[in-house]
Structure 1
Amino acid sequence: MEDEVKLLKERMLIEFRKQDRSGVYGFTQREMAYNSNRIEGSTLSKDQTASLFYTRTVESDDDSIIIRSKDIEEMTGHFLMFNEMLKTIDEPLTGKLIKSYHYRLKKLVFEDMANGYPVGEYKNRANIVSGIKTCPPEEVEEKINELFDWYEAHEKNLGTLAKLHIEYEKIHPFQDGNGRTGRIILYKECLRNGIYPFVIEDSRKVEYYHALRDEGQLEKLFASEQSIYRENTVALVVPVSRKNGMRM
């Protein structure tokens, strides 16, 4: 599978640089933006997400449905965050790096600015997530640095990524957008470390939230979603002439 990951990374970067949206880059942009935002409450459909990505326009699937401006702003922000992730794909995790992801995700969101939420900076007020006590604002920088130091010192595999994600969510470094930045980090670190990446689907939202309390359960979810993403992308990445000789 290492060869496949290498090809995926190469193909992704080529298509990104050329803004070729017909292959794995376009597919992943749509899937990640749709599912990651949907997990957080977005009302945009898959078709609307694709339309926004390809044409920068979106239409209502039903005249009775009102499209929220925040959903469009955050979907567009996710596209920008994904691009920033690709630009920095080989960089180690740092506070400065994740702040740059958060800035791309949230800089266009009027509601966040109106609420006084820091954009591209750590939270300045306490927050909670699903009943989990999160890190106080004044401790975020120290805790994030400790987490990333721990991560860099450990073997990179799905188990380590599960631990990283759970601890990241416990810290909850930003006022809003923690899940989406956390999931983009997972995708980045997979490609950076030769692990076939994955997209957590909205259909598994409940299972995902429960797994945030159990590293083993979250690792299994990652592995399951990894298999699905690979099945959906390998044909976009591996040339037919090379498939028979590919080391799995």
Structure 2
Amino acid sequence: MTMSDINKILKALPFINDDLIYFYNYHSNKIENNSLTLGETVTVLKDGFGVSKPLKDIRDVENHHRALHFVFELAKTQEPLSLRTIREIQALVEPERTGFRTQLVEILNTDVKTAEPFEISLRLEQILENYHRKDKDEQDFFYKLAEFHIAFERIHPFIDGNGRTGRLLLNLELLKAGYPLTTIKFEDRPMYYDAFSDVEKMKILLEKSVQDTIEMIVEKAK
């Protein structure tokens, strides 16, 4: 399926439904090693029942749910992505660990050097400025988004919630551009991690994830 085919399908599809929300929540948290299954995620979010899993994992799912609905509301405004938006989303993802970190952190299993605490705000402003540059409008949307996502995760501005916040930012921009809520699946985690070394790889993964999501919507609509 080409991106042209995808664009035609998008015009006839509902972008957000409960199944997509639960699916996205499960996979984004699972990438961060959350122990809840998809069924347990649905039980917590839809039915409001408890499950026999660590309380932190349950709280992460619930907080992520609130953050995602905040993203839906933000997408309607079409406001440009900003430092304030980034901080607001992370504060919903990790309400007990908000604000930019004040200590050095490492990204496990990589040799990426994250930002020094004193330079986090400046580097975020720089990647936002680069993302919003007018000449970027001529650039492939998915390439531009992939470039931003990699840069954001390399800065790693928070003590916790960077991955989930980063993927919510991806979806904020996708929704604003008319794409559906899109999931990077847990099964694609090795490909996802590898893509942080190459913008083109990340672009391809984002396009694949959008296509997978649309195909899932179409299949459920049959």
Give the superposed CA RMSD.
Answer: 2.0
Matching residue within 87, 91, 101 for 1:103: 91
Instruction: Please state if 1:27 is matched with 2:15.
Output: no
Query: Aligned partner of 1:97: which letter?
Result: T
- What is aligned with 1:91? 79
Of residues 127-136 and 33-42 in structure 1, the stretch that sits farther from structure 2 once superposed is: 127-136
Instruction: Please state if 1:41 is matched with 2:41.
Output: no
TM-score (norm 2): 0.87
Instruction: Please state if 1:124 is matched with 2:124.
Output: no
Q: Deviations over 1:92-142 (max 9, x none)?
A: 1111111111111112xxxxx4xxxx41x1111111113311001111111
Q: Distance in 1 between matches of 2:38 and 2:215?
A: 19
Q: How many residues end up aligned between the 2 structures?
A: 209
Query: Aligned partner of 2:91: which letter?
Result: Y
Q: CA deviation at 1:6?
A: 5.6
Q: Is the 8 A contact 2:24 2:182 kept in 1?
A: no
Q: Is the 8 A contact 1:157 1:195 kept in 2?
A: no
Q: CA deviation at 1:58?
A: 3.1
Q: CA deviation at 1:59?
A: 2.9
Q: Distance in 2 between matches of 1:25 and 1:32?
A: 11
Query: Aligned partner of 2:146: which letter?
Result: A
Q: Distance in 2 between matches of 1:86 and 1:137?
A: 30
TM-score (norm 1): 0.78
Q: CA deviation at 1:4?
A: 4.7
Q: CA deviation at 1:2?
A: 4.2
Runs of 5+ unmatched residues, structure 2: 1-5
Matching residue within 192, 197, 214 for 1:213: 197
Query: Aligned partner of 2:86: which letter?
Result: I
The higher radius of gyration belongs to: 1
Trace 1:195-210 onto structure 2 (pairs within 5 A).
195=179, 198-210=182-194
- What is aligned with 1:19? none
